[in-house]
Amino acid sequence: MSATVIDLLHQGRPNVIACYLVGDGEPSLVDCGPASCASTLVAGLADAGLELTDVRRVILTHIHLDHAGAAGTLVRRHPGLEVHVSEIGLPHLADPARLERSARRLYGDDFERLWGELVPVPTENLYPLGDRVADLEAFPTPGHAWHHVSFIGPDGACYVGDATGVRVGASSFLAPASPPPEIDLEAWWATLDELERRAPTRFALSHFGLVQDPVEHLALMRERLAAWAERVRSGASEQEFVEAAEEELRGGTKPGVADSYVWAGSFEQSYAGLKRYWDKKAAA
């Protein structure tokens, strides 16, 4: 199964959000990015010699707007497009009002600029994910979000969405993006174990690109997730957490790469997600 990385150039910036064109006879997209990037996605398909109407299906790792926000817009342009999503996420694409309210609280007046119009996906275009879609095996990978799903192809390429963090190019810095409200560390550790058990040949990250050494990457992900979680558990303030992450970022990236991490997921949001997780644990 061939796979092509399409850089969605979110807000004009490279290496922030990727989707993947997979399949030969029946092209599919793994994730589709936000509606604000729909035209860039269509242009990326054209570079691959395809029209949007040549794409059979969109296969979603999860329904966060940077991964799935364009689904309704794409179906509006291509009414035959199938959208495959977890059963948990499916009703939120059919009626995205709750998703939009939550995002507008977080992004305010920047919502349209960042994410574009959130268009409902008609129910006849929605398909609940099972164990397999096209040539991809689907399996749950919660932790970043309860409804997160990953996919592995016959060539061993594993499309992991946000399950293994944010890492750009050959950077040594990895950010385990952990926005609220669904961060679950126990589930995330189990997900990393399951990904290791499946022995993929490479990871396809939404943020950003192909990782050719999954074993090294998983080890780094475990290390960084543990460090960030402990930093919040031990009482670091948001400012302290962000300053520490920024220092790690400067030490682990080359000039010009750091901005891609910040746009892929703010450190403030990662702090908020981990803080919510530990607060819930304490209350329980």
pLDDT at 25: 81
Strand ranges across the sheet with 149-152: 132-133, 136-140, 149-152, 157-161, 202-205, 209-211
Helix locations, the chain, DSSP H? 38-47, 65-68, 71-77, 90-94, 97-107, 111-115, 185-197, 214-233, 238-252, 258-264, 267-283
- pLDDT value for 148: 98
Structural contact between residues 17 and 8, judged by C-beta atoms closer than 8 angstroms:
yes
Outline which parts of the chain fall under CATH 3.60.15.10.
Answer: 1-134, 141-284
Residue 46, number of CB atoms within 10 A of its CB: 11
What's residue 284's pLDDT?
84
> Could you give the dihedral angle defined by the CA atoms of residues 44, 50, 51 and 53, in that order, rounded to the nearest 10 degrees?
-120
pTM exceeds 0.85, yes or no: yes
State residue 169's pLDDT score: 85
Please report the pLDDT score of residue 1 as a whole number: 57
pLDDT, residue 183, reads 96
Cα separation, 89 vs 4, in Å, equals: 25
Give the CATH fold of the 1-134 domain. Answer: Metallo-beta-lactamase; Chain A (3.60.15)
- What length does the chain have? 284
pLDDT of residue 4: 94
- 3-state secondary structure (DSSP) of residue 105: helix
Alpha-carbon span 197 to 222, nearest angstrom: 15
Contact 33, 10 (CB under 8 A): yes
- The mean pLDDT values, 10 residues at a time, for the chain of 284 residues are 89 96 91 98 97 98 97 98 97 95 89 95 97 96 97 97 94 95 96 98 96 97 98 97 96 88 93 97 89
Hey, what CATH class is 141-284 in?
A: alpha beta
pLDDT confidence of residue 279: 96
User: Which tokens hold the place of 201?
Assistant: 């040949």
Beta partners for residue 85, in sequence order = 128
